[in-house]
Amino acid sequence: MAILVYAEHDNVSLKKATLNTIAAAKQMGDEVHVLVAGSNNQAVAEAVAKAEGVSKVLVADNAAYEHQMAENIALLVSDVAGGNYSHVVAAATTTGKNFMPRVAALLDVSMISDVTAVVDANTFKRPIYAGNATATVQTSESKIVVTVRTTAFDAVASEGGSASIETLDDVQNAGKSQFVSEEMAKSDRPELTSASIVVSGGRALGSEENFEKYIEPLADKLGAAVGASRAAVDAGYVPNDMQVGQTGKIVAPDLYIAAGISGAIQHLAGMKDSKVIVAINNDPESPIASIADYYLEGDLFSVLPELTSKI
């Protein structure tokens, strides 16, 4: 039996999350097949075929899959998974989180979300209570459906593989939902969930202009992604896709700089696995100060420009 991995992509290029997911899948079994579902997505299939550790790529290319609508994707994946697969694995991105539970329900099996470690093919670790505890979950399902936290698994190499590519003729259109529109952030900065350095701002920045004036130059100097606390997003200083936290983005970069963030439980849940944490604010009693590797007490509006110039 093989492991079925769902590829994360935008129809044009493969997302790094897929390489982390393949790595997790390899810990569950030797033979990994990757399903690439989308529209005009041939280039993605070819990229996946080159990834290390993939035996076979399955391509489903149809307008019904263009926007990754959960109803259609889940019908396709549960159909394919009904074949000789022991596990179905996707990244715990908003795409994976959206459709995978539908797959599990269609297969009438339970699902394990946000796996951070594979103990064996039936046993997984995952965070609960906003990461304040880690549960070890064992399953006896005949088909094991999981999403994996990409920051917990080192990506496989994107070159060196030569998997076969098979075209699927399986078109699933549930017909009850339609894509209307999207507003996607366009940025030259690295993607938040895979960046090696993240600079995050909190409510103390005070305005959208201050994010641009104080956080962005530092991020640019470091080649970093920009993140934010929930409070900063709620206040409208930055868009929602920058939120780091329990229910926002989970990040684990080499360096996380938290500027003007107090460190609510829910924010810490999203970044406490970062290798090095720097906190800059004017409250040494703040929760984030207690988990920071380096804490600098000071006024953001003088510290940040100074830091930017001295790096």
Partner 1 sequence: MKALVAVKRVIDYNVKVRVKADHSAVDLTNTKMSINPFDEIAVEEAVRLKEAGVIDEIIVASIGPKESQEQIRSALALGADRGILVQTEDKAYPLQVAKILKNIAETEGTEIILLGKQAIDDDNNQTGQMLAALMGAPQGTFASKVVVESNEVKVTREVDGGLQTVALDLPAIITTDLRLNEPRYAKLPNIMKAKKKPLDEKTPADFGVDMTSKQQIIQVEPPADRKAGIKVGSVDELVDKLKNEAKVI
In the range 206-225, which residues lie near partner 1 by CB under 8 A?
222
Q: Which is nearer to partner 1, 53 or 270 (CB)?
A: 270
Applying CB under 8 A, does 152 fall inside the site for partner 1? no
Judged by CB under 8 A, the stretch of 24-32, 82-90, 206-214, 273-281 that binds partner 1 is 273-281
Phi and psi based region of residue 281 (left: phi greater than 0; alpha: psi -120 to 50; beta: remaining): beta
Q: According to CB under 8 A, which one of 55, 255, 283, 301 is a site residue for partner 1?
A: 255
Contact call for residues 215 and 199 (beta carbons, < 8 A):
yes
Applying CB under 8 A, does 141 fall inside the site for partner 1? yes
The C-alpha atoms of residue 311 and residue 303 are separated, in whole angstroms, by: 12
Contact call for residues 155 and 19 (beta carbons, < 8 A):
yes
Rg of the chain taking only CA atoms, in angstroms: 20
Q: Which is nearer to partner 1, 159 or 180 (CB)?
A: 180
Judged by CB under 8 A, the stretch of 42-50, 89-97, 155-163, 205-213 that binds partner 1 is 89-97
Q: Which tokens go with 81? A: 């998974």
Q: Which is nearer to partner 1, 142 or 207 (CB)?
A: 142
Q: Restricting to residues 95-134, which ones interact with partner 1 according to CB under 8 A?
A: 95, 97-106, 108-114, 123, 127-134
Minimum gap (Å) between residue 165 Cβ and partner 1: 26
Applying CB under 8 A, does 230 fall inside the site for partner 1? yes
In order, the DSSP letters of 23-90 are: HHHHTT-S-EEEEEEESS-HHHHHHHHTSTT--EEEEEE-GGGTT--HHHHHHHHHHHHTTTEEEEEE
Q: Which is nearer to partner 1, 59 or 69 (CB)?
A: 69
Q: Restricting to residues 1-60, which ones interact with partner 1 according to CB under 8 A?
A: none
